[in-house]
Structure 1
Amino acid sequence: MTAANDSIDYSPKGRRRGGKSGGGLFAVLAWAVALSCVLPMLAVALAAAFGGTETISHLASTVLPGYSLTTLALVTLVALGTFAIGTGAAWLVTMTRFPGVRFLEVALVLPLAFPAYVLAYAYTHILDHPGIVQSALREVTGWGPRDYWFPEIRSTAGAAAMLVLVLYPYVYLLARAAFLQQSSGAFLAARALGKNAWAAFWMVSLPMARPAIASGVLLAVMETIADFGTVSYFGVQTFATGIYTSWFSLGDRGGAAQLALCLLGFALTLAVVERSTRGRAKYHHAGKHHNQMPPAELGGIKSAVAVFFCAVPVILGFLLPVAVLFLMSFDSEQNLFSRRYIDFTTNSITLAAAAAVLTVAAAVCLGFYQRLRPGRVSSVAAYLARLGYAVPGGVIAVGLIVPFAAFDNALDAWMREMFGIRTGLLVTGSIWLLVAAYGVRFMAAALGAYEGGQATMHANMDAAARSLGQGPLGMLRRVHLPILTPSLLTALLIVFVDVMKELPATLIMRPFNFDTLAVQAHRLAADERLEGAAVPSLVIMAVGLLPVILICRQVGRQR
């Protein structure tokens, strides 16, 4: 009888009746958020279309081939590097045992705290011609500048190395989770058929983890094409630097929009590839029981190789940069407690906090709308909102400035004609337009964190709330939000830290005389004042450690 009563009380009719008191509101809010996330992409496409063929013809005959080849080379190097380090380290800490494995499986996540451009400042101080290593080399050997060859850090390969060191944790985390979920049956069957451990890994374990690894690599690639700080500082000409140069140095808005459209097409192609890869490539254990792979004990030279392979990314990607930046800060003549730095910090925290709150609130509207009305319509809205993560910050900046600048100019012209009042730029160059750009860029991260928590809530909880007379608003306020508080806090923290590190959108869209820690670090590094850049860089890194610590705690409990 209880089951029968439940089926009557929680019928689709009941859900429709509850939707009248607030479901429509969430539909409007969710689609407003989704369309706002698509607006920059549409604006970039329209601005590029009206930019004229002269601009794109000139770009195609001058810089476009170079931008394309450099971007492609950078993406290829980062994809290979993150795949090798992330997958190899994940396999070793999951499937083997060697000295220090418990520490290393957590420490391998630490480089996520660094933006790649901060790592670039540290390694330039170490490896550039006037840096520590080459200066010591010349002093010991007596060589002159032309008497020896040394790898150039300010190069495409150098930029790729910086990006690999901070982005491989994406692959590591997803690959490690996939390896932990694999059963030992298929691997042991391959060993029983005469395959050695390496062949069994390559033919069985790696293909089974391919969807997770591919997702991690594609995330790293999307972050690579969005990077501006590293490639700009190293003088590597990519689409990201080309957009900024066209917009500010050349004043060519049409050219910037057309370059942004090229980059947008590349990014969206990667997003489609990632989604199709994740959707089609699925591997399941065919047996009745899921027996986790027993870790293999390593000894001798194998143990030393495993320690070396896992320790080097941690040393190069976290420990060494922290030490170098800390030592550089002593000679920086930058006072973190001066009025200027207090303003930089306040501006950074203000932008990050506002963006985090508004982005998570929008994500709640989208996620709850999917919960209320599951189906194709709500899924499309969520998918459109997620597209912003695949779009670089510079593209979003161009896509928002173009339409709102046109709106401001049209409004100003109308107000002068009708009332003789000059309104100026009301929206363009405002903090809130910059916050909107952050929201578009990081909506996917907030929505993912919220949906992850929402998935743990059984549908019967919604039905019970409706049976007690709660509409959608009451159910969200009294049931969902209290239960999902940890997920909401995680989403807030992720967006907060991502905004603190975001550089291209901030550089293009920030109000006049409104600088952040990231902008200050970029400015000092561009002036070759690396010691000065170390101070804001350390603050950005320290803030970035907050979500990494949460991830490390989760990694430590996953065994």
Structure 2
Amino acid sequence: MHIIGLLAVLIALPILGILCAWLGLDAAGVDSLRQQMQTVLPGYLVTSGWLALMVTLGVALVGGAAAVAISLFEFRGKRFFSWALLLPMAMPAYVCAYAYTDFLQYAGIVQGTLRGWFPGFRFDVRGLPGAIFLFVFTLYPYAYLLARNALSERGTHLMEAARMLGTPLRERIVRVALPLARPALMAGAALALMETLADYGVSAYFGLTTFTTGIYKAWMVLDDRIAAAQYASALLLFVAVLLWLERREQQRMRFSSVRGHRGDDGGAEARLPVLGGGRAVLAWLVCGLPVLLGFVLPVLILLQLWWGELGRTAQTGFEGGSASLFSFSRYAGWVWNSFRFGGMAALVAIVLALSLCFAQRAGGMSRVSGWLLRGVARLASMGYAIPGSVIAVGILLPVAWLQAMWPAAGLGVLLTATSLGVIYAYLVRFTAVAVQSVEAGYTRIPASVDEAARTLGSSRGAIAWRLHVPLLWRSLATAALMVFVDVVKELPATLLLRPFDTDTLAVIAHNLARDERLGEAALPALSIVAVGLVPVLVVMRALDTRKN
């Protein structure tokens, strides 16, 4: 149990390191903070605030409208849209940014056509409005999925009851469906907001002054570790508030979805209104535009960029000039690095998750040690909601302190620009994903199974390895898959901590796009999308299985 507690402390250490940065604040630090408040902090607050507000509203609007259309109405194409609306979950926002930057460039066909119709027209997607657009149409599935589940469980039945009482359709949606879906929409919007605050790729590529880009600039450009820690702690505080709000809405959502007896289980016998004519067209627009703008169009743009790059490469040769970046060996190296980091992080994450969940399930600890383990485990579970740049600073800052105190220990060599440091950052951020999956699996294993095994003389290790692992293999496989995909898409932590000359698909796509080599960035970007489709397909299959 002491070893498991130590592992939990190590997972939570970067978060504690960020908070401890304020303990050593001296007069120089106070003066630096005052200067930041007069110069860069107002810009970070304004940009991040507007981004957070508009993305929250947009995600709730787009996701809520799609959920209402799918859950409460029947129309042609509904089955297709019900799963197609999840496809943008596979599209990282920074990949979408690369696609739309090329598609909407000033010399492109879109703006050229619009200038022909409207002389003087000009639109630059690389700004705050463009970032809001990208985040809304890549993150709305969070709100859509949760609101759809809430409305499917109780919405159809209550809508049918309101119809029988003579309530018009518009009143049924406004007074019944939307209040019922509000906790789910708020929870989904909070998740989307945390992803927005954690983003680095879009903000850096568009040149936005957000807290995430400020952390990276303070650490890597200005070499001001204290300022980076202060920005990170402010962002950490905001994320903690969001987590509290999200958990509160999740509890309200669970309360609102309590089912009654089988005849009152969410409207299984209720008849859904059938849409036709103009209303059906409106439903297609509500469901089709998010899929088109958040997935189909960016994929087509990236495929066109890739095809054009292949044509240029065929003319110059794979080993000539800039086309050498497109050689198979280099691409295979990026894929290998991404899959190597993802595989190692996934393997260690499921071992940690199984150990933590088993320790909490097994009991046998003193009240103090049990309370401590649960507290540290809860702190560690915040990792998924914390931006990768914050975690990277939380790792590098304590390492710098310890290296200054004990130079002979070599901690900086172990965790700075090494695979070990990258894997550690991934575990801090994504172990929470594995823990949630394993905890869900443990709820399906009765405690009597453990008691019977202990009665037969089985040790704790035998119970975990020979009994729990076979019963939890689906949960463990799901946890490994989710961690693997998240690692492949992770950008800021990899940028800050990766070994030298070790690029992943996310890093190389970001670097090439930053250098305006979008054609070369298309292949690694498409590869990230292909990997991201795997968990989306798993979710689709789970929804179909539950529906059947």
- 1:233-280 CA deviation, whole Å, 9 max, x = no partner? 111110001111111111211211111111111111111222233335
Which of 90, 107, 114 is 1:113 aligned to?
A: 90
Letter in 2 for 1:157: P
Cα deviation, residue 56, structure 1? 1.0
Structure 2 CA distance for partners of 1:357 and 1:423, relative to 1, 3 Å: closer
SS in 2 for 1:276: helix
Are residues 1:204 and 2:176 paired? yes
In structure 2, what is the equivalent of residue 554 of structure 1? 542
Letter in 2 for 1:71: S
SS in 2 for 1:271: helix
In structure 1, what is the equivalent of residue 2 of structure 2? 28
Cα deviation, residue 285, structure 1? 5.5
Which of 278, 283, 286 is 2:256 aligned to?
A: 283
Which of 320, 331, 345 is 1:341 aligned to?
A: 331
The equivalences for 1:141-180 within 5 A come to: 147-180=119-152
Cα RMSD after superposing both structures: 2.2
Cα deviation, residue 502, structure 1? 0.5
- 1:158-193 CA deviation, whole Å, 9 max, x = no partner? 111111111111111111111121165543443344
Q: Percent identity?
A: 41
Q: Distance in 1 between matches of 2:414 and 2:432?
A: 28
Q: Distance in 2 between matches of 1:285 and 1:509?
A: 45
Are residues 1:394 and 2:382 paired? no
| Contact preservation (8 Å) 2:259, 2:266 | no
Structure 2 CA distance for partners of 1:254 and 1:207, relative to 1, 3 Å: same
Greater shift in the superposed pair: 499-508 or 340-349: 340-349
In structure 1, what is the equivalent of residue 441 of structure 2? 453
SS in 2 for 1:425: helix
Q: Which has the higher contact order (CA 8 A, sep 6+)?
A: 1
The equivalences for 1:282-321 within 5 A come to: 282-283=255-256, 288=261, 289-293=263-267, 294=270, 295-321=272-298
Are residues 1:75 and 2:70 paired? no
In structure 2, what is the equivalent of residue 514 of structure 1? 502
In structure 2, what is the equivalent of residue 545 of structure 1? 533
| Contact preservation (8 Å) 2:68, 2:177 | no
Which of 331, 348, 360 is 1:358 aligned to?
A: 348
Are residues 1:61 and 2:38 paired? yes
Structure 2 CA distance for partners of 1:423 and 1:191, relative to 1, 3 Å: closer
Greater shift in the superposed pair: 377-386 or 305-314: 377-386
- 1:449-475 CA deviation, whole Å, 9 max, x = no partner? 111222122222222222222222111
- 1:270-326 CA deviation, whole Å, 9 max, x = no partner? 112222333356225585442433322111111110011101111111111111101
| Contact preservation (8 Å) 1:408, 1:428 | no
| Contact preservation (8 Å) 1:231, 1:237 | yes
In structure 2, what is the equivalent of residue 42 of structure 1? 16
Structure 2 CA distance for partners of 1:137 and 1:276, relative to 1, 3 Å: closer
Aligned residues: 521
Q: Distance in 2 between matches of 1:543 and 1:271?
A: 27
Cα deviation, residue 202, structure 1? 2.6
Are residues 1:532 and 2:524 paired? no
Unaligned runs of 5+ in 1: 1-26, 416-421
Greater shift in the superposed pair: 194-203 or 472-481: 194-203
Letter in 1 for 2:472: L
In structure 1, what is the equivalent of residue 417 of structure 2? 429
Cα deviation, residue 365, structure 1? 1.1
Q: Distance in 1 between matches of 2:328 and 2:412?
A: 33
In structure 2, what is the equivalent of residue 330 of structure 1? 307
| Contact preservation (8 Å) 2:12, 2:380 | yes
Q: Distance in 2 between matches of 1:278 and 1:322?
A: 33
Q: Distance in 2 between matches of 1:357 and 1:193?
A: 56
Which of 82, 86, 108 is 2:63 aligned to?
A: 86
SS in 2 for 1:555: helix
Q: Distance in 1 between matches of 2:218 and 2:298?
A: 32
SS in 2 for 1:550: helix
Unaligned runs of 5+ in 2: 314-322, 365-369
Are residues 1:253 and 2:210 paired? no
Letter in 2 for 1:253: R
Q: Distance in 2 between matches of 1:211 and 1:458?
A: 31
Q: Distance in 2 between matches of 1:259 and 1:112?
A: 28
- 1:116-171 CA deviation, whole Å, 9 max, x = no partner? 00000000111121333123445x56x8xxx4223321111111111111111111
| Contact preservation (8 Å) 1:405, 1:425 | no
TM-score normalised by length of structure 2: 0.90
Cα deviation, residue 434, structure 1? 1.2
Q: Distance in 2 between matches of 1:494 and 1:398?
A: 24
Structure 2 CA distance for partners of 1:558 and 1:296, relative to 1, 3 Å: farther
| Contact preservation (8 Å) 2:15, 2:394 | yes
